[in-house]
Amino acid sequence: MPTDPFSLFDEWFAEARANEPDLPEAMSVATADATGQPSSRMVLLKDYGPDGFVFYTNVESAKGEQLRENPRAALLFHWKSLRRQVRIEGMAEAVTEGEADAYFASRARDSQLGAWASDQSRPMENRERFEQRFEESERQHAGQDVPRPPFWSGYRIVPNRIEFWTERPYRLHERRLFQRDESGWTEGLLYP
């Protein structure tokens, strides 16, 4: 088996894409505010590599505010059909403007318009008001490319800890832990 966590993630993610019936790129992102109050939600992995794991969002959302207050975050992939999990812990950093622009441009037009229409995580009067805002955004950007809103970008979780968990019978699971220090990655096992 690979001794580099990203090579192992490559293998596992390829297997998940081939076998997981729905959204193998779905991951839970856990954050905490300045007081330590945790929060978790599902997002989609949009890119990854040795520099980290990337997702995009409204930076004024609850998760964006929490990451500004406390940049520590955790990710969790759960591929039930494969009986596997990957747990990732690290620090969040903003993606570059170029990365955010490029990914936003690749999104479906309605998703782009929805980003302009939504005050993500804020209270909503009613669904009709959101739909009106979407229609206003459609009219405003008719016949032109939809630019990325200034409040919409991405985060890269730069890992310092990655655990690969495999289910085994009788709860005798296998847990491989990779931790990063100044010299690179070290590997060990954890009791189930």
Q: Which two tokens stand for residue 161?
A: 């800890």
Query: Which positions are annotated as active-site residues?
Result: 171
Q: What phi and psi values does residue 164 have, to the nearest 5 degrees?
A: -110, 120
75 Cβ contact partners less than 8 Å away, ≥ 6 residues apart: 27, 28, 29, 30, 53, 86, 87, 88, 89, 157
Q: Quick one: angle between helices 109-117 and 127-140, nearest 10?
A: 120
Yes or no: say if 164 and 64 are a contact pair by the CB < 8 Å rule: no
- Quickly count: other Cβ atoms within 10 Å of residue 49's Cβ: 11
Nearest to 113 by CA among 152, 85, 80: 152
